[in-house]
Amino acid sequence: MSFKGDPSRAVQIGFLLLLTLTSAQVAWWIAENVHYSRAVEARIASLYKEAEKAGGTMPEGALQALAEERSKRINRYLWEGGFFLLVLIGGMSVLTSAIRLDANLRRRQQNFLAAVSHEFKSPLASIRLSAETLVMRSNEPETTKLANRILADDERLLRMVDNLLDSARLEQGLHALKPEPVELPSLVAGMVDAVRDRALAHGIRVTIDIPDDVVLRGDRTALETILRNFLDNALKSCEAAEGTRIAVTVRRQPGLITLSITDDGLGFEEEEALRVFQKFYRIGDELRRTTQGTGLGLHIVKRLAALSGAEVQAESPGPGRGATFSIQWPDQNSA
């Protein structure tokens, strides 16, 4: 499990390292004070002996008193330092155990989500097939309307299941990319066509502005997933805010290919720009939410972008003023 996929684990590991360094500091403190006590005893004893050689007198039992004082100090240092070391080692043991339990729990959760998602795929596919059959065979407007509603809800559930499966594979490091030359114009056109009916049903116009000769070397499936989630996010934002426009643009700069999707939907505050890519993060109060989604789509986009050597960015002029989501790839075909 990577630290990027699980920031809380990185914090725990950092705290464990801090405890280790603190333990080393306590051990050094004990050793330094023991050495200092012995050095002071030796220096004072040397002064007594020099004074005695010069004709002076040494106080009776002075050397024994020095030895006893040194022994008391060393014992105190050992007891105090030992107590702190014991507490620190105990804390390290508890924290290590907690990290292992947390890792096992997360692994079981990911396995459960993957298993449940796979179980959903077959019945959802069957429901879709049945609804499509109803649409083709029925001559009754009401039946056709209900079948289309089933198809729309089924498509939404399938997108959620796909996101859960993609997230599980990314967390487990099982998503292997297969780079190949991909013509962005045809890929984007196909993905936009797939959502055009949904957009038109809500009065949303989707435009495309891409040069004809843009070829990107990347994994086709990953690119489709990125575009699907970007478009789905823009559509949900426009549907919630009654927006009417989504623009998909691609620009080629020296060494870079940038794809941007701009909508006139919900928008967000400036400080939300980085948070929107966090796993399960959604803007606003979850208990009062009216928009659909699980908070996985943009997280998957960011993880796939990182695997592809790309960077993602989110911008918005403010709530209710739309947003722009961009991804930049290095242009390997540039001279």
**Same domain? 292 vs 157:** no
Per residue in 31-84, pLDDT (tens digit) is 887 777 777 777 777 766 776 676 666 666 666 776 777 777 777 777 877 787
Report the range out of 124-128, 220-224, 311-315 with the highest average pLDDT. Answer: 311-315
Which whole number is the average pLDDT over 107-119?
Answer: 73
Q: Does the pLDDT of residue 170 top 50, yes or no?
A: yes
Which residues lie closer than 8 Å to 264 by C-beta, 6 or more apart?
A: 238, 241, 243, 244, 245, 321, 322
Per residue in 187-245, pLDDT (tens digit) is 999 989 988 888 898 899 999 998 888 888 888 888 888 898 899 889 988 988 888 99
- The C-alpha atoms of residue 313 and residue 324 are separated, in whole angstroms, by 8
DSSP type of residue 278? S
Q: How many independent structural domains does the chain possess?
A: 2
**Same domain? 34 vs 160:** yes
**Same domain? 223 vs 190:** yes
**Same domain? 171 vs 209:** no
Residue 313 backbone dihedrals phi, psi, to 5 degrees: -150, 145
Answer yes or no: are the C-beta atoms of 232 and 311 closer than 8 Å: no
**What are the tokens at 209?**
């502005």
Q: Does the pLDDT of residue 1 top 60, yes or no?
A: no
**Same domain? 152 vs 16:** yes
- The C-alpha atoms of residue 141 and residue 135 are separated, in whole angstroms, by 9
**Same domain? 171 vs 214:** no
What domain range includes position 222? Answer: 180-330
- The C-alpha atoms of residue 214 and residue 90 are separated, in whole angstroms, by 59
Q: What integer pLDDT is reported at residue 291 of this predicted model?
A: 59
